[in-house]
Amino acid sequence: MDTMTAEGLLLPWPDDDGEPFWDYARRGELRVQACADCGRLRFPPRPCCPHCGSFEEEWRLMSGRGRLWSYVVAHPPLLPAYAERAPYPVALVELEEDPRIRLVGTLTNSVRRPNAPWNAVPPQRLRIGAPVQAVFQAVTPEVTVVRWALCSG
């Protein structure tokens, strides 16, 4: 499996537990692992439920709505492909369905622009608590990642 895109960005390297997340992302679905017995969501995915011990799992569809919990703006030194894009903001987004589930992702300025450059949103526009929406970007024919579109207004 490729570990990098043609441009030199690191691709996700899923473990057994994380594989379904990336399979669903490829279909344009944001799904989070949940216990099939007690129903609690959990992230990152793991073999069994820390609340009830069940190994039965399901992958629950999320709305893709969330809020900015925090963010950084990365500057060099960075790996070469990242340094080319710097400075770029990276968001940590809490999901509407469970604020303890927070996903890291790059930002885009519109749900219609999943392929916008990483610096499409100027950092001064970012506020903790701002609403965001998941969008899906196919970075290779096999791999799709989730990005976050800053909702206007």
Partner 1 sequence: MLRDRTAIVGIGQTRFAKHLEESEKALACRAVLAALEDAGIEPHEVDALASYTMEETDEVELAKAIGAGDVTFFSRIGFGGGGSCATVAHLAMAVATGQASVGVAWRSRKRGSGRRPWTNTAQQLPTPAQWTRPFGLLRPADEIGMLARRYMHEFGATRDHLFNVALACRNRANQNPAAIMYERPLTREMYMDARWISEPLCLYDNCLETDGALACVIVGAERARDCRQRPVYLHSVAQGLPAQHHGMVNYWNDDPLTGPAWTAARQLWKTADFGPADVDVAQIYDAFTPLIPLSLEGYGFCGRGEGASFTEGGALELGGRLPINTGGGGLSEGYVHGFNLINEGVKQLRGVSTAQVPDAATCLVTAGEGVPTSAVLLRT
Binding region for partner 1 (CB under 8 A):
3-4, 9-15, 17-18, 22, 43-44, 50, 69-75, 77-79, 82, 85, 87-88, 90, 92, 100-106, 118, 123, 128, 139, 145
User: Smallest distance from the beta carbon of 6 to partner 1, in angstroms?
Assistant: 14
Question: In Å, how far from its chain's centre is CA 101?
Answer: 11
Stretch (H or E) spanning 56: none
Which is closer to partner 1, CB of 69 or CB of 136? Answer: 69
Select 61 or 104, whichever has its Cβ closest to partner 1: 104
* Residue 53: Cβ-neighbour burial (10 angstroms; 0-12, 13-18, 19+): exposed
Interatomic CA distance for residues 24 and 85, integer angstroms: 27
Specify the residue, 12 or 28, whose C-beta has the smaller distance to partner 1: 12
